[in-house]
Amino acid sequence: MAHDFLPEFRPGWVWLAGAGPGDPALLTLGVHDALRQADVVVHDALVGGDILRFARPGAVLEYAGKRGGRPSCRQADITTRLIDLARAGKRVLRLKGGDPFMFGRGGEEAQALAGAGIPFRVLPGVTAGIGGLAYGGVPVTHRDFNSAVTFVTGHDAGGEVPDALDWAAIARGAPVIVVYMGLGKIGVIAERLIAGGRPAGEPVAIVADASLPSQRVVETTLADAARAVAEAGIGAPALIVVGEVVRLRRELDWLGRYVVPASPEEAERRRA
């Protein structure tokens, strides 16, 4: 059913939208409506089938995923495809995991669209660094622990830990640090933060497949982070959060405590 407070998706437009961290329940109403109107959905690797099923019957679904260390679509090719589809009169939904403007290259795509004279709209999504951590039982802010949080990317265009970042300043200035796309370099990141003054025993949580049924959370410390990840065998996509707010997870792990089925033994351990 159409709602008159939602915008009309006009032919020749591109909508840059965020699908959230994975759970379809975290789709915004605007993005859900866009899926019901779009002629073509150009989606990233992190947008799952449970979300794509909301696309209208007859819509074309085009995969344009980019994953580190795997064969991926070139950004230039993706942008060109968006422009070509819009010029062909299609209603084009560019759907990304999380939020398109949070380490999602949405800003670059919007610039290219603007330069090509293609009208576009941005539909923000729930970014994994907030919503995904909430599913892991970790609040990114808490009055008793922090009044600031810093979001960083764990790798640069070449796949390495960004040297342009002042890791010592981040270590000193941010009570809570959230690292996107840093799992493969977690040892180097931990070393740089410790060298910048963070305690080696500071709590760290790694949340993999945030908000999905396959979600896993590893709690550790900065000094042990690389070893803990290797022993747990978790893989990307994963978020890293550093800070005292991680200690709240014992109380706030609502997903593990109340939602995910557990054996009687596990349920008792969670209540302890």
pLDDT at 171 over 90: yes
Q: Name the phi and psi angles at 246, rounded to 5.
A: -60, -30
* 36-62: pLDDT as tens digits: 999 999 999 999 999 999 999 999 999
Q: Quote the pLDDT of residue 73.
A: 78
* 82-133: pLDDT as tens digits: 999 999 999 999 999 999 999 999 999 999 999 999 999 999 999 999 999 9
Q: Quote the pLDDT of residue 65.
A: 77
Q: How many residues does the structure list for the chain?
A: 272
In which band, very low, low, confident or very high, does the pLDDT at 147 lie, cut at 50, 70 and 90?
very high
* 29-43: pLDDT as tens digits: 999 999 999 999 999
In which band, very low, low, confident or very high, does the pLDDT at 157 lie, cut at 50, 70 and 90?
confident
pLDDT at 67 over 80: no
Contact 14, 87 (CB under 8 A): no
**What is the rounded CA–CA span in Å between residue 177 and residue 84?**
39
Q: Quote the pLDDT of residue 66.
A: 64
Contact 240, 154 (CB under 8 A): yes
CATH 3.40.1010.10, the chain: domain bounds: 14-126
Decide which of 3.40.1010.10, 3.40.50.1820, 3.40.50.300, 3.40.190.10 is the CATH code for 14-126. 3.40.1010.10
Q: Quote the pLDDT of residue 122.
A: 98
Q: Which residues are catalytic?
A: 44, 66, 181
Angle at 34 between CA 181 and CA 93, to 5 degrees: 55
Name the packing angle between helices 186-195 and 225-232 (round to 10°): 160
pLDDT at 272 over 60: no
SS3 of residue 238 by DSSP = strand
Could you tell me which residues are beta bridge partners of residue 153?
A: 180
CATH topology of domain 129-256: 3.30.950
CATH 3.30.950.10, the chain: domain bounds: 129-256
pTM for the structure as a whole: 0.89
Q: Quote the pLDDT of residue 1.
A: 46
